[in-house]
Structure formats: structure tokens, C-alpha cells
């Protein structure tokens, strides 16, 4: 909440000229605008009460004058004119007195927000995947049957366990090898053909030594390979 110190120094920023010009040049038609704007900046109940009082006076002035016959000069017409003049003069005086005591500098919301850096999130995602693969490999080492039941290395099957993107080269079909390891159709077919001949791969290096996978390709996919 913005606090007002009537006896303190005024802020360096000047109030906009329209703050007092609106009620003056509109002949009082817009005299309630400055008090409402000032109350919105102050966010104080007293300011809102004053703005509300001037608005009521402005409305009563219009209502009393407008409800009388045209050209009538009676008590109610005089009251309406007085209410209208009070709201008009009050709006101008309030703007001239209170306007310079407020801070009219641009708010921090108009400043350019710092740009979002996606790098930390991307690094965290890769690190999380590595941890999940390590945990899945440790699970497979301790309890291979549980790993099979959890369908570790089988992203082509419905499952709940997240193994970080491992692929079981001993059971995954050609399509899965191509999609999740990035192998070509010919490479996937060669791996499956050699697997059928051997029944299963015993070591991940067998993909190079026996299945004819290029060493450069093996280096790219070895982190995601598991043998169950």
C-alpha cells in the first residue's frame, strides 16, 4: 500500500497534466476521474471515501438539475448546481494538491521481463534420464525376472515403470530398435537376425563383434541398451 506523507518531500516524477485538465476543460463533466485515479494509486480507504463523495455530489447535481422543468429556478435547481460546482471545483483542487505528492513514474510491470533460459531444465531432464537408466540396470542385475515383469527395455509395451529410455536388444522387435535406438531398417533387421541365431546376446559388445554394428553407431546407442 502506498503511504502518503503530506509533510515530506514530493516525488521527483510530475503528475500528468490531464489530471487537472480533464475537469477544467470538460466543464466538470469529467471531474470525478482525477479523484478515482488518485484513490487507485493510493489504495487507501480515505482516498476512496473522498472519491466516492465527489462522485455522489456530481451525480446528485445532475439528477437534481435534470429532474426540474426546463428554465426552472427553485431550491432544488440551486442545490443541484451547488452539488455540481462542488464536485467540479473539488476534483480540480484535489488533483492539484494530491497529484504532485504521488509517484507517477512507470511501474515495474512495464519493465521487460527477463528471458527464460531453457538450458537448466534440459540438463536436468538428461540427468534424470541417466539416473533412471542406472536404477533400472541395477534392478535388472539384482532381480532379472522383476525387470522383465516391469517390462524394462520394452517401450513398445504398456507399462508403468520408467526405465529412462532403455531398450532390451534381446527381446525388442525391429521397429522398436529402429525407433528408440535410431538404427536403420537394415541394421535393426541384422541385429534381430543374429539374435535369433544366437538365441540371445551375452554382451553389449556382441552388437559390434557379431551383429556387425558400426562402432560409431554403437557408441551412440550403448547408453540405452540393456540385455535381459
Show the DSSP H helices in the chain as ranges: 18-25, 33-42, 45-67, 75-98, 119-142, 144-149, 174-181, 185-198, 206-209, 215-221
In angstroms, the Cα distances linking 210 to 91, 178, 191, 197, 207 are 92, 18, 9, 10, 6
What is the per-residue pLDDT across 170-227, written as a single tens digit (0 to 9) for each?
A: 999 999 999 999 889 999 999 999 999 999 999 988 888 888 888 888 888 889 999 9
Q: Is the pLDDT of residue 111 over 70?
A: no
pTM over 0.75: no
Give the separation between CA 183 and CA 218, rounded to whole angstroms. Answer: 10
What is the per-residue pLDDT across 25-38, written as a single tens digit (0 to 9) for each?
A: 777 677 778 778 88
Report which secondary-structure segment, H or E, holds 112: none
Amino acid at each position: 500500500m502506498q503511504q502518503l506523507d503530506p509533510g515530506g518531500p514530493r516525488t521527483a516524477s510530475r503528475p500528468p497534466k490531464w489530471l487537472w485538465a480533464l475537469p477544467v476543460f470538460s466543464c466538470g463533466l469529467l471531474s470525478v476521474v482525477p479523484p478515482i485515479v488518485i484513490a487507485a494509486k493510493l489504495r487507501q480507504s480515505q482516498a476512496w471515501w473522498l472519491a466516492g463523495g465527489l462522485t455522489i455530489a456530481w451525480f446528485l447535481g445532475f439528477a437534481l438539475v435534470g429532474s426540474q422543468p426546463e428554465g426552472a429556478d427553485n431550491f432544488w435547481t440551486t442545490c443541484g448546481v451547488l452539488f455540481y460546482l462542488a464536485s467540479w471545483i473539488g476534483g480540480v483542487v484535489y488533483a492539484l494538491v494530491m497529484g504532485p505528492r504521488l509517484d507517477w513514474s512507470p511501474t515495474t510491470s512495464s519493465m521487460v521481463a527477463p528471458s527464460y533460459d531453457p538450458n537448466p531444465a534440459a540438463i536436468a531432464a538428461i540427468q534424470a534420464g541417466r539416473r533412471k537408466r542406472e536404477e533400472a540396470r541395477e534392478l535388472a542385475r539384482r532381480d532379472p525376472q522383476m525387470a522383465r515383469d516391469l517390462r524394462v527395455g520394452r517401450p513398445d509395451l504398456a507399462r508403468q515403470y520408467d526405465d529412462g529410455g532403455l531398450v532390451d536388444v534381446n527381446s525388442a522387435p525391429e521397429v522398436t530398435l529402429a525407433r528408440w535406438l535410431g538404427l536403420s531398417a537394415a541394421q535393426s533387421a541384422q541385429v534381430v537376425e543374429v539374435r535369433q541365431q544366437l538365441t540371445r546376446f551375452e554382451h553389449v559388445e556382441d552388437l559390434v563383434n557379431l551383429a556387425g554394428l558400426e562402432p560409431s553407431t554403437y557408441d551412440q546407442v550403448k547408453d540405452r541398451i540393456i540385455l535381459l
